[in-house]
Amino acid sequence: MRYATDHKQQTREKLLASSGALAKRGGFAATGVAELMKAIGLTGGAFYNHFPSKDDLFSEIVRRELDNSPLGRLIERGADRPRLKRLLEQYLTLAHLHNAEGGCPLPPLGVEIARAERPVREQAEHWVVTLHQAWSETLEDPELAWALLSQCVGALVVGRMLASEPLQAQLLQASRKLVDQVFDEGR
């Protein structure tokens, strides 16, 4: 049976999308090649037609997820203070907290990125530094940009650790209050 000329690229795209969601939901290291391929209806052996190794797939997932993250859109379009504040308020919501698969990749993948090979960490570092530079310009304060970035990502990490939704809501509300204070003081 002959496949369409773009079949391999379509399969690769499906694998990337599915693997990104699986990695953000349950962890990449804990998911085997067979499970990644089964999620798109193929056998584990077909994996190597698309990536030389699982590490190469993870590197591509990290690049893709960071580029498509809500925070990343501020790098592309630039941000003024009101837009950055709105984005951070949306970031610090229960809807985002409960949507690990469709949300920011830093909270669910951060630890795995930290354990990854140097090229993956360098790729993530480049993205985070670029984001930091954009926020630094908007906030006119590089230290505040680092603190705010860490606060928001950390709030989601800790929020996902909590079992009780009322506690999650309290945590997110406290973080949004801090964001409000930062932006109200900077007027």
Number of compact structural domains in the chain? 2
Same domain, 113 and 40: no
Last residue of a domain, one of 44, 61, 78: 61
Task: Provide the whole-model pTM.
Answer: 0.84
Q: Supply the DSSP string of 156-185, one letter for each residue.
A: HHHHHH-S-HHHHHHHHHHHHHHHHHHHHH
Same domain, 48 and 73: no
Which residue range forms the structural domain that includes residue 43?
Answer: 7-61
Q: Supply the DSSP string of 105-173, one letter for each residue.
A: SHHHHHHHHHHS-HHHHHHHHHHHHHHHHHHHHHHT-HHHHHHHHHHHHHHHHHHHH-S-HHHHHHHHH
Last residue of a domain, one of 40, 61, 82: 61
Last residue of a domain, one of 21, 42, 61: 61
**What is the helix (H) or strand (E) element at residue 68, kind and residue range?**
none
Cα 155 from Cα 165, distance rounded (Å): 14
Q: Give domain status of residue 40, yes or no.
A: yes
Residues of the chain with pLDDT under 70: 1-5, 73-74, 76-78, 186-187
The pLDDT tens digits for 89-123 are: 999 999 999 999 888 899 999 999 999 999 999 99
Q: Give domain status of residue 2, yes or no.
A: no
Cα 162 from Cα 138, distance rounded (Å): 32
